[in-house]
Amino acid sequence: MFVFLSKVIPPLIYPLGLACSFLGAALIFYKRQRLVRVAVLVSFLLLGLGGNRLVAYQLAKTLEWQYLPLEEVPEVEVMVVLGGGTLAANPPRLMAEINGAGDRLIYAAKLYREGKAQKLLLSGGGIEWYTPSSANPAAEMAELLEMLGVPKEALLLEDRSQNTLQNAQNAKTILSEMGVRRVLLVTSAMHMPRSVRVFERQGLEVIPAPTDYTVTQIGWQTMTRPTLVNFILNLIPSADNLSLTTRALKEILGAAVYEWVGDE
């Protein structure tokens, strides 16, 4: 039930879903002009702020820059790589593919080749009613990592997790059987703060190895310069910025929910 609610409720309270809800209310109560005006104004503000470049990138920066790349990544026995960076081999795709968060696989392969870990624990399972029936993130990651030169015998698959909390719980079970407590954790930079918290709550010693940064130093400096071009770009909302805001809010909301429910 928790997984179901976590997929159904959040879209309704993200900027786009909430704006649609207010516009729907305006249509239903169209005879109440004051209510209609308020609903339209709130929808406008939600979409305008959510689609604002500075708002979107500030939210992303606040999350991503909590964990910056280490100058020297220490060696460990096991590296945990979280799912979410792949697309299932559903026709017309000929094989599993990397999506926008697929940098985590490339980075994991790089760290393995540098001798930073002996084993890679690939954590991620499909949700039958939410993803295509053939989706198996752990197996997809394994397929792609083998293409990137990681030997099959170095890969451990955990394909039952349906969210980050289950990633941590199921990984802890496997790691405990191996007698391992200290791990490298590879995931997207925006996802790292929430991931570190839930993994540490399982009693694991986590070394964050973030990748897939949206906000770079030069990019942030460029967009915050006081120029006319930036003023215009920062004023006009866009779908890309709205998507980034939504991703950031997902992480913030997810972290809050995990703090509330604990390890349930």
Between CA 169 and CA 153 the distance in angstroms is: 23
Q: Comparing 9 with 167, which gets the higher pLDDT?
A: 167
CATH code assigned at 160: 3.40.50.620
User: 252 lies in a domain?
Assistant: no
- Tokens describing residue 83: 């799912």
The yes-or-no verdict on residue 133 having pLDDT over 70 is no
User: 251 lies in a domain?
Assistant: no
The yes-or-no verdict on residue 81 having pLDDT over 70 is yes
The yes-or-no verdict on residue 264 having pLDDT over 60 is no
The yes-or-no verdict on residue 8 having pLDDT over 90 is no
User: 170 lies in a domain?
Assistant: yes
pLDDT for 163-177, tens place per residue? 999 999 999 999 999
The yes-or-no verdict on residue 261 having pLDDT over 90 is no
pLDDT of the residue at 129: 60
Counting the structural domains of the chain, the total is 1
Of the candidates 85, 87, 78, 84, the residue with the CA atom closest to the CA atom of residue 176: 78
User: 22 lies in a domain?
Assistant: no
User: 57 lies in a domain?
Assistant: no
pLDDT of the residue at 131: 64
pLDDT for 184-231, tens place per residue? 999 999 999 999 999 999 999 999 999 999 999 999 999 999 999 999
pLDDT of the residue at 260: 83
User: 178 lies in a domain?
Assistant: yes
**Summary mean pLDDT of the chain:** 93
pLDDT for 135-146, tens place per residue? 799 999 999 999
| Sequence-ordered alpha helix ranges (H) in the chain | 2-8, 10-13, 15-28, 33-50, 53-64, 103-113, 137-147, 164-178, 192-200, 217-223, 228-235, 239-261
139 contacts 86 by C-beta, under 8 angstroms: no
Predicted structure pTM score: 0.91
User: 199 lies in a domain?
Assistant: yes
Of the candidates 175, 169, 165, the residue with the CA atom closest to the CA atom of residue 195: 165
pLDDT of the residue at 250: 96
Q: How confident is the model at residue 239 (pLDDT cuts 50, 70, 90)?
A: very high
Q: What is the DSSP string of 162-214?
A: -SHHHHHHHHHHHHHHHT--EEEEEEETTTHHHHHHHHHTTT-EEEEEEE--S
- Domain holding 106, by residue range, is 76-211
User: 154 lies in a domain?
Assistant: yes
The yes-or-no verdict on residue 35 having pLDDT over 60 is yes
